[in-house]
Amino acid sequence: MPTYPPRNVSETAANMALIRALETAKPNRQRLFSDPFARRFLPAWQRALVTPAKIPPWRRMLESFFDRQAPGARTSGAARTRLIDDWTRAAVRNGAAQVVIMGAGFDCRALRLDELRLSSVFELERREMLNLKSRFLADTSASHVRRVPIDFLNEQPEDCLVASGYSPTVKSLFILEGVTNYLDRSAVDSVFNLFSHSAPGSRMIFTYVHIDAINGTFPAPGLTALLERLRNLGEAWTFGFRPEDMPDYLAQRDLRIVADLSATDYRAIYWRQPMLLKGYEFYRAVLAEKTNAAR
Ligand SMILES: C[S@@+](CC[C@H](N)C(=O)[O-])C[C@H]1O[C@@H](n2cnc3c(N)ncnc32)[C@H](O)[C@@H]1O
């Protein structure tokens, strides 16, 4: 195992791994998904805490501690992971033969979803994160995965992908989970331009943060403390959309919205008693499809 914490690790990517590791510790019939790789990415002290999380009172104590620190992050993060798993499986069943996971962090869908084993998967991330991920997963077989280094703020995803064997004429799925909020307008436009140049029927799954959360005015518990914590981590949120602007933004790129769900919506799909779960209502997940219009 690589030593931890290494330099240049994304703390927010490691946090998603913690959410997935906690969910995976639940019994089969209770959990929303299983990510057996997630715990590998945790620092040793967190791994030590999560290992006994199969014991329900211990797990509930960890969950309630987590929920007090960041209201809604765990419950929305787990529901979102499951939602994106479901949308991903549907896109692959619908013929997407290439899956491009942007800002992949410690996302292990390429390994844990059997449906992706027959696809070409491209994982785009910062070089240091990709190197670290490859070291943590050194014992896994992932010949269908190509890890493509990129800095979205300074490089064009289309150039990096084509150089790595991606074909724009093949029906594809693009996944951008937890990433647009770290970019700027020009980098977000480049990602959507890539999608708009893809084969008809391609799909894109992406998350975005409501713009009022970026400027701190969205009414959600714990938002001010969350924004301050992100700034202290050096991973401040920098970009958001207004949901009402989304249909036009996509239509201008020959893309159609299939669903645009708030955390309240997707928690209601997967959690029992979702009305008891509060926080992160500003964190949205979108499924969009490339229309047949020629440009
Ligand atoms: C919240 S994490 C989400 C990771 C992963 N998608 C998941 O759901 O587990 C955000 C990820 O975006 C990556 N990221 C942020 N800005 C980036 C940039 N300019 N270029 C490349 N990757 C970036 C970070 O390194 C991090 O892994």
pTM of the predicted protein model? 0.96
The CATH 3.40.50.150 domain(s) of the chain lie at 73-290
**Index of the ligand 1 atom closest to the CA of residue 106:** 9
Please provide the DSSP assignment of 193-246 as one string.
Answer: HHHHTSPTT-EEEEEEEBHHHHTT-S--TTHHHHHHHHHHHT------B-GGGH
Structural contact between residues 260 and 286, judged by C-beta atoms closer than 8 angstroms: yes
Q: Is 16 in the pocket of ligand 1 (CB under 6 A)?
A: yes
Cβ of residue 126 lying under 6 Å from some atom of ligand 1: yes
Q: Which atom of ligand 1 is nearest to the CA of 175?
A: 6
Tens digit of pLDDT per residue, the chain (295 long)? 555 555 678 999 999 999 999 999 999 999 999 999 999 999 999 999 999 999 999 999 999 999 999 999 999 999 999 999 999 999 999 999 999 999 999 999 999 999 999 999 999 999 999 999 999 999 998 899 999 999 999 999 999 999 999 999 999 999 999 999 999 999 999 999 999 999 999 999 999 999 999 999 999 999 999 999 999 999 999 999 999 999 999 999 999 999 999 999 999 999 988 888 899 999 999 999 998 765 5
Distance of alpha carbon 193 from alpha carbon 243, whole angstroms: 19
Q: Is 182 in the pocket of ligand 1 (CB under 6 A)?
A: yes
Ligand 1 proximity of 66 Cβ (cutoff 6 Å): no
CB 88 within 8 A of CB 81: no
Instruction: Give how far Cα 182 sits from Cα of 169, 199, 224, 240, Å.
Output: 29, 27, 17, 9
- How many residues would you count in the chain? 295
Tell me how far the alpha carbon of residue 125 is from its chain's centroid.
12
Does the domain spanning 73-290 belong to CATH 3.40.50.150?
A: yes
Backbone angles phi, psi at 49, to 5 degrees: -75, -35
In the block, which residue shows the tokens 């700027």? 184
| CA-wise closest residue to 72 among 218, 181, 204 | 218
Q: What b/e string do you get for 29-65 counting C-beta neighbours within 10 Å, with b at 16 or more? A: eebbbebebbbbbbeeebbebbeebeeeeebeebbee
| In the chain, alpha helices (H) | 11-24, 44-50, 56-69, 73-93, 109-112, 127-136, 157-163, 185-196, 211-214, 223-233, 246-251, 263-270
Phi, psi of 148 (to 5 degrees): -115, 115
Mutate to test the pocket of ligand 1, among 10, 100, 106, 194 (most ligand atoms within 8 A of CB): 10
